[in-house]
Copies of this chain bind each other. A is one copy, B any other.
Amino acid sequence: MGFEDNIRKIDPYIPGEQPKKKVIKLNTNECPYPPSPEVIRALREADWERLRLYPEPACDTLVDALADHYGLRREQVFAGVGSDDVLSMCFLTFFAGDRPILFPEITYSFYDVWAKVYGIPFETIELNEDLTLDPSGFKKPNGGVVIANPNAPTGVAESREVIEGIIEYNKDSVVIVDEAYIDFGGESVLPLIDRYPNLIVTRTMSKSRALAGMRIGYCFGDERLIKYLNDVKYSVNSYTMNMPALIAGAAAIRDTEYFRQTIEKIKKTREWTKERLREMGFTFNDSRTNFIFAKVPKGCNAKEIFEGLRSMGIYVRYFDKPKINDRMRISVGTDDEMNFLIGALKKLTRT
């Protein structure tokens, strides 16, 4: 067919599996605890008859709540359908030049997918042998920079100083710092937002706020950048976030106490899991996220263990890629889930 020539053909990003049967799901870094009771109350009390009307195009309810919570002006805040939507819009808006954008060779696997779909030239920067960032790689001419901090799937958090050095050097590029996992540890560069007009910080409610099913992401930046971003957003879809997402997001951001408790529980379970994994011979960087990126013990095969876990009803994530194919990414679940995982790993690694 002639029309095939006009079609954009893409190798899509493959999301982690969403199994329909009951399994222990440690493969997509969801929160093992439910959303805040305030979120559930807000949804139970919602006036669903209002669904006949379009939602707020500027997402005011949520943007105002975010600005208030983070002590920013609403003009510094942008919200979207998960941080994937926010990041995708950022790529489309800020990376429209000819020079390649830079991001680490091992990082969130969507970055190169967005670059390809929007025709953005890119170059990946090697990590150090221990999977930490080599800042010097980001100090050369470029059309933009994207850094996940803490990084995924490595779990490594870089200091604010290291990230600031990259932002500082790249005054002529927009630097996106993807802080999807920052609530679980690490130093945010959000406090630098007023100092660097080239900085965008992205966040999500999918992990630390237990709202993956609601698709809520947001970012912060200089008013000018946020305005450009909104112009592009309004040119793609005027009304991206639906009414329930706006209601739930605003309720979630206000419940600081529940949020704090959830984070503490996850961190505690993470540290306990790290101990057990270490005892069995797994090695890993000091994860500051809600997952652990663990190298299997000497003599074990990561893919086999991944498949062994799967057959026992435990889903983790395995990336069949150079440099990381000896590892598994394990989301931090409840204490019971991690206990069950450790038992299964003991069998599979015969330790």
Contact = CB atoms under 8 A, between A and B. Distances in A.
A248 B11 CA distance: 31
Contacts of A117: 92, 232, 235-236
A95 B243 contact: no
Interface string A171-195: 1111000000000000000000000
Interface stretch (A53-61, A157-165, A316-324, A336-344): A53-61
Nearest to A33: B52
| From A5, A56, A85, A244, residue with most partner B Cβ within 10 Å | A244
A35 B243 CA distance: 14
A54 B28 CA distance: 8
Contacts of A43: 43, 46, 48, 244
B6 A143 contact: yes
A174 B93 CA distance: 27
A12 B113 contact: no
A233 B231 CA distance: 21
A35 B51 contact: yes
Interface string A12-39: 1111101000000100101111110001
A84 B239 contact: yes
Interface of A: 1-3, 5-16, 18, 25, 28, 30-35, 39-40, 43-44, 46, 48-57, 81-82, 84-85, 88, 92-97, 99, 113-114, 116-117, 143-144, 171-174, 197-198, 206, 210-215, 228, 230-245, 248
